[in-house]
Chains A and B, each alone.
Chain A
Amino acid sequence: MKNLSKIGLGILTSVGGYLEVGSIGTSLQAGARFRYELLWALLIGTVCVAFLTEMTGRLAAVSHHTVVDAMRKRFGFGFQVWPLASQVIVDLFVLASEIGGASLALELATGVSMRVWAIPIATAIWALLWLGTFDAIEHGVAVLGLVTLCFVVAALELGPEWRELRQSLVPHMPSADAGQYAYLAVGILGATISPYLVTFYSSGGVEEKWTSKDLMPNRMVAAVGMGFGSLVAMAVIVVSALVLAPRGVKAETYQEAAFILTIPFQRWGYPLFWVSLAIGCIGAALEISLDVSYIVSQSFGWDWGESQKPAEEARFALIYTLAMPIAAIPALIGLDPLKLTMFSMALTVIALPIVVGPLIVIMNDEQYLKTHTNGIVTNVAVVLIVALAFLLAIVAIPVQMIGGS
C-alpha cells in the first residue's frame, strides 16, 4: 500500500512536472513546422530519460549518494571540474529561459511587458526555495502542473489522424527542409534528455531518504511517470500540428503561438496557455536552481539539502541565491525567451556526454551499488545513450548554424 502511494505520487510528480520551457518551445515549433514528423525524437528521448532516471534513482536508493558524489570520488577533481563547469553554465542558461518563459506568460496574461516581471518572478522562485522544503516544492508544483494536461485534452478534442501519428513514431527523413528538421530533432532530444535531470533526480532520492525498499517504486516511476509525462509533450506537438501548421504559423515566438488552445477551448484557451507556460516554467526553475546548488555543494563536499533550513547550509542556500539575479538578466533586458530556450537546448546537448558518460563506470561500481549494479540491459542502454549523447554533441553546433536561423 505504501509502495502504491509512493508510485502514484512519483508518477503524478513526473507528469505534472514534465512540461517546461524547453519541451514547450521545441514541441510547439516541431508541430508547427513538421506536423507529427518529429514525434519519434520525443519517444527516443523519453526512453533514454526513463533509463537514466531509473539508474540515478537506484544509485541514490542503494548508496545514499548522488551521481556528483560518485563522479568526484571515482574520476577525481581534475575530471569533475569539467562536467561541473559545463553544467553550471547550462543550468544558468536554462534557468534564464524558464524565468523568461514565466515572465512572458505573465505578459500574455496582463499585457505588461515581460521585463517588468523578471525580478518579481525570480524573487518569488527564490522565496519558495528559501522558505519551502523539498517535498512541498516538488509535489506542490507537480499538482499545479497537472493543468498542462489541458494539452492532452485539446489533442483528443481536435482528433489527430492516428495512422499518421503512429507512423511518425518511427525515425524517418523529413518531407522538406532537412536542416531545420535536424535542428528541431536535436532540440527535442536536448529538452528531453536534460543533464540536470540526471543530477537532480539522484539528489532528490537522497533528499527523500530512499532506501533499497524504494527500488521497485523507483523503477515504476521512471518507466510509467516519464512515459505519461512525455504524452503531455507529444500532445503539444499534436495540438501545434493541428492548430498552428494549417494556419502557417511557425511559432517563432510564444506570442505567435499563444492562441493555440483557443481553437479547442475557445475563451478558456488563452488563460490555459499562459497558466500552463507559467507553472511549467516556475516548476522547472525551482528544480534547476536547486540543481545548481546541488552540483556545486556536492562537488566540494558541503552540506546540502532543500529539506534543511538555509542557516544550516549557508553555502548551499547562497549558491541558488546568487544564481537567481544572474539568470534574471536576459528576461530583464527583454531577450526573446523562445530564442534563448532554443539556444539553451543546443548547449544542453553539448554538455550531455560529459555528464552521462561517467555513468557507465559509476553504475557498475560495487562500492556504491553493492548487488544492484547495472545488468546487461541497463549497461547496453547506458552505452547507447552515451553514444547518442556524443553524436548529438557533435552535430549540435552545425545543426544550430544550418537550421537555427
Chain B
Amino acid sequence: MDLVRDVLDARLVDRRGRSLGRVDGILLDVRDGRPPRFVAMEVGLVTAARRIHPRLARWVRAFAIKVLPVPVRPTRYSPRLCRDIGVDVKLDVDAQSDARLLRLEKWLRRHVVERIPGAGE
C-alpha cells in the first residue's frame, strides 16, 4: 500500500456506506532508526487548508472557531479501522450512532435543516 497514492484524499465510508469525509491528512510517528509508523487518517477543513498554506489553515481555524457551532478539531481514524482500501477507504465504524462522527452534519440537520418544512425525516 502506498499511503499517498491509495489513502490520502480517498473518501472514507462507514459500515453502512455513509460518507465520513476525505482523508485530508496522514499522521505518521517518525522514529529514530526505524521506519515511520502510520498512526491515523485525519479529516478536517483545517488539515486540508494546511496543505495549501499554513497561514490559510490559521485563517480557516480562526474563522471556524467564530462561526461553527461544533468543536473545530479534526477527526482521526486509526488504520486498524480499515476494512478495505480501494477507490474508497471503508472503515469499521457507524457514523449514525457514534456521536463523535459527522458532528457538523448532525448539528446542521437538527438545528437548521429539519426546521425547514419539507426536509424529510
Q: State in angstroms the CA–CA spacing of A72 and B19 once bound together.
A: 15
> Hey, what's the 0/1 contact readout for A298-324 against B, CB within 8 Å counting as 1?
011111100001111011011000000
Q: Does B116 have its Cβ within 8 Å of any Cβ on chain A? A: yes
Docked CA distance A80–B21 (Å) = 15
Are B116 and A130 touching (Cβ within 8 A)?
Answer: yes
Beta-carbon contact of A315 and B87 below 8 Å? no
Per-residue interface assignment for chain B, residues 50 to 84, with 1 indicating a CB less than 8 Å from any chain A CB and 0 otherwise: 01100000000000000000000000000000000
Q: Does B120 contact A (CB under 8 A)?
A: yes
Chain A residues 67 to 105 lying within 8 A of chain B, measured CB to CB, are: 69, 72-73, 76-78, 80-81
B120 near A311 with CB under 8 A, answer yes
Residues of B within 8 A of A5 (CB): none
Q: Are A301 and B20 in contact (CB under 8 A)?
A: yes
From B18, B45, B121, give the contact of A311 (CB < 8 A): B121
Q: In the complex, what residue of chain B is closest to A297 when comparing beta carbons?
A: B19
Q: Mark B91-121, 1 if CB is under 8 A from A, else 0.
A: 0000000000000111011001110101111
**Interface bracket on A:** 20 to 34
Residue among A69, A300, A309 with max Cβ neighbours from chain B (10 Å) = A300
Answer yes or no: A65 CB below 8 A from chain B CBs.
yes
Q: How many residues of B contact A (CB 8 A)?
A: 31
B87 and A65 within 8 A (CB):
yes
Say whether B8 faces chain A, with CB atoms less than 8 Å apart.
Answer: yes
Chain B residue contacts of A367, Cβ below 8 A: 86-87
Complex Cα gap A314–B8 (Å): 25
Determine if A81 and B52 form an interchain contact, defined as CB atoms under 8 angstroms apart.
yes
In the bound complex, CA of A317 to CA of B118 (Å): 12
| A302 adjacent to B109 (CB under 8 Å) | no
User: Which residues on B sit within 8 Å (CB–CB) of A77?
Assistant: 9, 22, 24, 48, 51-52
A367 CA to B87 CA, complexed, in Å: 7
Contact A301/B12 with A73-B87, A314-B108 known, Cβ cut-off 8 Å: yes
- Give bound CA distance, A73 to B11, whole Å: 8
* B109–A72 CB distance below 8 A: no
CA distance A128 to B69 in the complex (A): 29
A318 touches B19 (CB 8 A): no
- B40 near A: Cβ within 8 Å? no
- Across the interface, which residues of B come within 8 angstroms of A304, CB to CB? 19
Q: Residues of A contacting B45 with CB < 8 Å?
A: 300
| Contact B8–A72 (Cβ < 8 Å) | no
A300 touches B21 (CB 8 A): yes
Decide if B9 touches A73 in the complex (CB within 8 Å).
yes
* Complex contact A301–B108 (CB within 8 A): no
On chain A, the residues within 8 Å of B18 by CB distance are 303
Question: Chain B residue with minimal CB distance to A315?
Answer: B105
Complex alpha-carbon distance, A310 and B115, angstroms: 11
How long is the Cα–Cα vector from A72 to B48 in the complex, in angstroms?
Answer: 12
Give CA–CA (A81, B24) in the complex, Å: 12
Is there a chain A Cβ closer than 8 Å to B10's Cβ?
A: yes
Chain B: which residue is nearest A81 at the CB level?
Answer: B52
Closest to A64 in B: B87
**0/1 per residue, A127-156, Cβ < 8 Å to B?**
100110000000000000000000000000
Say yes or no: A131 contacts B118, CB within 8 Å.
Answer: yes
* Residues on A with beta carbons closer than 8 Å to the beta carbon of B9: 72-73, 76-77, 80
- The CA of A315 and the CA of B106, in the complex, are separated in Å by 9
A314 / chain B contacts, CB cutoff of 8 Å: 105-106, 108-109, 112-113
Among candidates B10, B104, B106, residue contacting A73 with C-beta atoms closer than 8 Å: B10
- Structural contact, A310 and B119, CB atoms closer than 8 A: yes
Give A311 to B114 CA distance when docked, in angstroms.
Answer: 6
Cα distance, A314 to B109, chains bound together (Å): 5
| Chain A residues with CB below 8 A from B118, complex form | 127, 130-131, 310
| Chain A residue with the shortest CB-CB distance to B44 | A300
Contacts of A303 in B (CB 8 A): 18-19, 105
Contact flags B32-58 to A (C-beta < 8 A → 1, else 0): 000000000001010010011000000
- Asked if residues A310 and B116 are in contact (CB atoms below 8 Å), the reply is yes
Residues of chain B whose beta carbon lies under 8 Å from any beta carbon of chain A: 8-12, 18-22, 24, 43, 45, 48, 51-52, 86-87, 104-106, 108-109, 112-114, 116, 118-121
| Other A-B pairs, 18, CB within 8 Å; known A302-B19, A311-B119, A367-B86 | A72-B9, A76-B8, A77-B48, A77-B52, A80-B9, A130-B116, A299-B22, A301-B11, A301-B19, A301-B20, A303-B19, A309-B120, A309-B121, A311-B114, A314-B106, A314-B108, A317-B113, A368-B87
Return 25 A-B CB contacts under 8 Å, by A number.
A69-B87, A72-B22, A76-B9, A76-B51, A77-B9, A77-B51, A78-B52, A130-B116, A131-B118, A300-B22, A302-B19, A303-B18, A304-B19, A309-B121, A310-B113, A310-B116, A310-B119, A311-B113, A311-B114, A311-B119, A314-B105, A317-B113, A317-B119, A318-B108, A368-B87
